[in-house]
Chains A and B, each alone.
Chain A
Amino acid sequence: MAEIEATTGGILALALPFVAAALAPILKRIIGAHAAWVLALAPAAAFAILFSFLPEVSSGGVVQFGFDWIPAFDVRFSFRIDGLASTFGLLITGIGTLIILYSGGYLKGHRDQGRFFSFMLMFMGSMLGLVLADDLMTLFVYWELTSITSFLLIGFDHEREKARRGAIQALAITGGGGLALLAGFILIRELAGLNSMTEVLAAGDALRTSPYYLPIFILVLCGAFTKSAQMPFHVWLPNAMEAPTPVSAYLHSATMVKAGVYLLLRMQPALGDTALWTTVLPAFGAVTLVMGALLAVRATDIKITLAYTTVSSLGLLVMLIGVSTEYALIGAVLYLIAHSLFKGGLFMVAGSVDHGAHTREIDRLGGLARHMPITFAAALLCALSMGGITPFVGFLAKEEIYHALEYGDAYHIALMAAAILGNALMFAAAFIVALKPFVGKLPETIDHPHEGGFTIWFGPLVLGVLGLLGALFYETYHALFSGPMASATYGQPVEIDISFVPHLNLAFALSLATIALGIVIYLASNGVRAATSRFLASVGWGPDHGFDQAMRGLLRFSYFVTNRLQSGRLDYYMTITVIAITAALFVPMILGGALPAEPQMPQLRLPEWLVLALILVGIVAVVVAKNRLTAIVSLGIQGFGTALIFMLLGAPDLSFTQFMVETLSVVILALVMTRLKLSPADHRPLREKLPDAALALAGGAGFAVFLLSIVQRPFDPALSDFFEEYSYAIAHGKNIVNVILVDFRGVDTMGEIAVVMTTGLAVLALIRIRVGRRAKAQPDPMETTP
């Protein structure tokens, strides 16, 4: 009974966003921007369903459901809700509900708002599927769906070139990583025999000790690092800020970019805690953390600042997962939840500021507090959490992180230094975004700053308040969300007892030092910005530029290849084709040792001798022909000769068809010849003809030898006996060839006639194109007169 409920509820939760996505455009047309209120019900309902699983999940249970998808390959469409999936799912659907409402206000009156809702909900469904998926192939499908929907959302403003570039860049990088992930999953499936996350988690050390650990590790990491924007793959994330702000708030801070982190957390019990894992992940993570935070402080657009702090936060998460200890993973989990809340909120604040003041440039913002008080309050709540100040969830996370890193060896000291520097920079960035635009004097350039409607300030305020409540009621918070998630991540139950009351220990001292450093950076932010800009200018080249270079290189390479292969010269195509066929005939025979034995001279009857003589005459006629047309017609002699041989050997159907095909090909070839502007005869000197002749001989010899080797194999009469016996008995036909064509192998014939028709269409189109071009080349009198 319980299982049935889980299945219905789970599938319903997964399907709801997609159903809402399908309805969104129609609903928008009927009730306008109010559609947001109706559409938000879908994620809200999904949230409620996931919440109903919480009692079971938080007590360590796992809810599983699904059904067979492709049984032949053991692929299932199956899902698994444990602590990790549950908390992720609640974040996705919860923040998703707020975001849909927010988009209702933010994009009010936008021409394509319906489409926007649709993309957004599709993304939501994909992301939910990703974190709940159990089967590896199911997970991969959802993984790619998030890449595609993200592409659609970044390129939402598709009339702007920057939006298109951002979209393509994100798709190229995350989609490429997705392919690597697919390869990794296939390795896990085929070599380790593990089809689902449940099996992977139950397999213990199987993957760690597998000889294929290294390739699996690299491939999974490629997927996770591209999705979660680790250096040097981070470039797509700041460029994704071309999307409308709700997208940035949702995809590029709270959810999608966490997919890679999710994957690492998910695979940690199976792949983690090896020397490779604890070196590579922290190294990438730490570099991303510090570089991201530096770039964040440098940016002047508050949205870009937030984007880089997201890069930085993702670096911190990857670093912590790499450390792989219990405390580090608890820290990662706490930070991940806190980050989703405060970063989603801050992005929405940035959108509200843009909406109210019509600019996002930090230099041109100030004094908005009086005009946008609620947004200011939400901004402060989020920034305090991001800065790690008690009593906010960000504080819990930072305490736990420092606690996890406080060991005396060089490894931990280096990571600690990165964490402190990164956190201080992020502290400064948080207040640059949340404080600077609101205090000081209102610049004159801002005309009528105003608070947005309810939907605009509601979302960020809720997220900010949640960040406070989570820390105040930390016991419930740990029991329901962070605890089960950390347990699922660590692989065994863990206890979290961190509270908002600071204890006087090393972690707290470091926390204070971070805040102090952060305040210094905030006050000196103009100087820091100038310094980082100078530094980056002196470096000059960056991965973003590198992406462009790589794309240009790819284009140039494909031009090169296309020019080489598609020369447009018919003789060149013919030569390549004949070489390829000849090679395909000879190479397997020689490598496989299947060359035929020398054939015995068969006893031929007089008619057969005569036909052979006719064919020989035909060959001579082709070679000595004065012009091309004669050669083509003479070529027909060969075909008719072959047809005669079929006839003599008792295959009238084959012979009949051969006659017709030969006739028609001669006719069509002759017609084509009249259309091509060729000289009537081949006037090349002999030495240029010889290579072609040699190639022709080789091709002919290839077919001859190939046929000989087939004929020399013992004949297996099973099929012919079958057809002979049943052709009339069950198919009512005495002509076996025809019965095979229309009955026994009818589906083959159906495919073939489809090809015949398509070829006809293609040829027709090609002929038309040539005619069209000629017509266009003639000067149009209308065009020449102004």
Chain B
Amino acid sequence: MRTVIFRFTAPYLTALMVLFSIFVLLRGHNDPGGGFIGGLIAASALAIYGIACGVAAVRRALWFHPMAISASGLFLAVVAGIFSVFAGTGFMTGLWVFPKIFGTEVALSTPLIFDIGVYLVVVGGIASIALALEERESD
């Protein structure tokens, strides 16, 4: 698997895929995409990086344990739902603000936070499985 070409291109490929996954995540509300797909893309990016350069490199790059990323995502998703309780509406009612940043109207919302939570859960969960399975090849 670890051909020179693969090992050379894998970091760039991974970086591009992670960037693309964030793009997919953010555009998801109006165009095809969303947290789940974005998470899957990012997870496969990490899997590719792991196959090419070894699991240890991925773990170093991630800094956090993938399971911790997953758990923080779940936490974020729940927090996004709880926001609306403080706003006096039912649990998980979407809240929206449209601030102007550099002259462009940007839509920010609790569903977006929720979607980011979904993304993190999927990245962390799938990546931790994939990395754990890949681990043996390195030892």
Contacts and interface: CB of A to CB of B under 8 A. Distances in A.
Given A733-B30, A735-B30, A753-B73, A660 B125 contact: no
A169 to B, nearest CB: 43
B13 interface: no
B44 A663 contact: yes
Interface string A751-786: 001101101110110011000000000000000000
A732 B67 contact: no
Given A733-B30, A734-B30, A742 B35 contact: yes
A750 interface: yes
B14 interface: no
Contacts of B129: 668, 760, 763-764
Contacts of B94: 731-732, 743
B34 A738 contact: yes
Residue among A663, A737, A739, A764 with the highest chain B CB neighbour number at 10 A = A764
Contacts of A671: 130, 133-134
A420 to B, nearest CB: 69
A749 B47 CA distance: 24
Interface string B60-86: 000000110011011001100100000
B30 A757 contact: no
Nearest to A756: B125
A701 to B, nearest CB: 30
A735 B29 contact: yes
A742 B132 contact: no
Contacts of A566: none
Interface string A655-696: 011001101100110011011000000000000000000000
Q: Which range contains the number of B residues in contact with the other chain?
A: 35 or more
A251 to B, nearest CB: 44
A668 B128 CA distance: 11
B29 A674 contact: no
Interface string A716-752: 0000000000000001111101110111001101100
A757 B120 CA distance: 10
A382 to B, nearest CB: 61
A653 B33 CA distance: 6
A664 B122 contact: no
Nearest to B112: A742
A737 B115 CA distance: 13
Contacts, number: 136
A760 B30 contact: no
B96 A753 contact: no
Contact of A757 (B43, B47, B109, B125): B125
B28 A735 contact: yes
A652 interface: yes
B81 A746 contact: yes
B88 interface: no
B107 interface: yes
B67 A656 contact: no
B37 A753 contact: no
Interface string A35-79: 000000000000000000000000000000000000000000000
Contacts of B33: 653, 656, 735, 738
Contacts of A749: 77, 114, 118
Contacts of B66: 760
B92 interface: yes
B37 A657 contact: yes
A641 B114 CA distance: 31
Nearest to B134: A671
A741 B39 CA distance: 14
A758 to B, nearest CB: 9
Nearest to A661: B40
Contact of A657 (B31, B40, B44, B70): B40
Q: Which of B36, B74, B78 has the most CB of A within 10 A?
A: B36
Contacts of B35: 741-742
A760 B126 contact: yes
Contact of B40 (A664, A675, A764): A664
Contact of B136 (A661, A674, A732, A764): A674
A715 B67 CA distance: 42
B54 interface: no
Nearest to A739: B29
Contact of A743 (B78, B107, B111, B124): B111
A320 to B, nearest CB: 57
Contacts of A674: 136-137
B10 interface: no
Contact of A750 (B77, B107, B122): B77
A757 B132 contact: no
Nearest to B29: A733
A746 to B, nearest CB: 5
Most chain B CB within 10 A, of A657, A757, A767, is at A757
B67 to A, nearest CB: 6
A735 B115 CA distance: 13
B62 to A, nearest CB: 14
A743 B133 CA distance: 34
Given A668-B130, A675-B133, A742-B111, A656 B74 contact: no
B28 A738 contact: yes
Given A734-B30, A735-B32, A761 B130 contact: no
- Indicate the member of B30, B124, B129, B134 with the most A CB atoms within 10 Å: B129
Given A734-B29, A735-B33, A760 B128 contact: yes
Nearest to A742: B111
A115 to B, nearest CB: 35
A746 B124 contact: no
7 contacts: A660-B41, A667-B44, A732-B94, A738-B34, A749-B114, A750-B92, A760-B124
Interface of A: 652-653, 656-657, 660-661, 663-664, 667-668, 671-672, 674-675, 731-735, 737-739, 741-743, 746-747, 749-750, 753-754, 756-757, 759-761, 763-764, 767-768
Which A-B residue pairs are the 9 nearest by beta carbons? A760-B125, A660-B40, A671-B133, A652-B32, A734-B30, A733-B29, A753-B121, A738-B34, A742-B111
Given A656-B32, A667-B47, 10 more contacts: A657-B36, A732-B107, A735-B29, A735-B32, A735-B34, A741-B115, A747-B81, A749-B77, A756-B126, A764-B132
